[in-house]
Chain A
């Protein structure tokens, strides 16, 4: 049985695609056959973050419409043996996704032996986002420590609990996890930013990881390399921890307290 994971948030720009790319790569690095699907029809971006934009020939909608088969549309990652990418269509509109069509592709991916299927949701609560979450077994709710993102995350939690396949068929509910991104311990300390504890308390779901605000994320997307492959970076390591926790390991949080500054930095600022 393939495990279907949706990376969702409601609000845009919080790091869904960055997180999808990092988590999918992390799972593949751990030896699991993984595919990551871009559900943002018309605004394809996962291919850029994964660095395979020039290798896109067929896409998700082509497969749904029977214009290409899965093998033609799947892009095999060049860095990572077990990783495949299914890009979104850039031309069709969001209504190209139907429950039947998406369900069939997910079934075929499971039959092809994929262990993890990561669904990179578009922002909003329209067709694309609903299709991305509908079949999920696990949801990673990507949230920034900021009021509009937290509120939208709560809306998405409502959707997961009422509009998903598991909800409609009265199955065991989707496992919901919080992934807090763009976290700045310094600003939390000065009282300008909601803390991990605050967001956990408000959303009341299990915490999967905290990704610090990091320059490595922009560098990684510039280069088209998932940030988890930047093993020196704080964000990369935080994503590694996140993937381990997703696989059931218990790890303490890192990068949630202010880093100690040297004497010179204290005087001249950072």
Chain B
């Protein structure tokens, strides 16, 4: 930075803040899939296909999550947002 820069207005939004927010989301997503078995993505896809046979849903209306608790217990959580009846 030189003296000239002091007279220029540099009040642009800090891009590092955007970078941090984007990374926090993507890393949280990556970590939620970590430790899941290799068959998990395919199983998730097939569950969505089965639901689609009966109800028209988009991929982002379904969340399938595998939670591992400490005491040797895994919970498969399936959350489907059904479209409103029209």
Interface residues of A (CB under 8 A from B): 146-147, 150-151, 154-155, 158, 161-162, 186, 188, 190-195, 198, 201-203, 266-269
Contacts and interface: CB of A to CB of B under 8 A. Distances in A.
B79 interface: no
Majority secondary structure of chain B interface residues (helix, strand, loop or mixed): helix
A202 B24 CA distance: 6
A162 B30 CA distance: 14
15 contacts: A147-B19, A151-B27, A151-B30, A154-B31, A161-B34, A161-B35, A162-B35, A188-B16, A190-B14, A191-B14, A191-B16, A191-B17, A192-B15, A202-B24, A266-B2
Interface of B: 1-4, 10, 13-17, 19-20, 22-24, 26-27, 30-31, 34-35
A203 B22 CA distance: 13
B20 A158 contact: no
A198 B13 CA distance: 17
B8 to A, nearest CB: 12
B41 to A, nearest CB: 15
Contacts of B1: 186, 266, 269
Contacts of B10: 190
Given A188-B16, A192-B15, A162 B34 contact: yes
Given A162-B34, A162-B35, A269-B1, A191 B24 contact: no
Nearest to A197: B20
Nearest to B22: A147
Contacts of B20: 194, 198, 201-202
Given A147-B23, A151-B27, A158 B34 contact: yes
A266 B23 contact: no
B3 A267 contact: yes
Nearest to B1: A269
B3 A266 contact: yes
Max count, chain A CB within 10 A of own CB: residue among B4, B23, B35 = B23
A155 B17 CA distance: 22
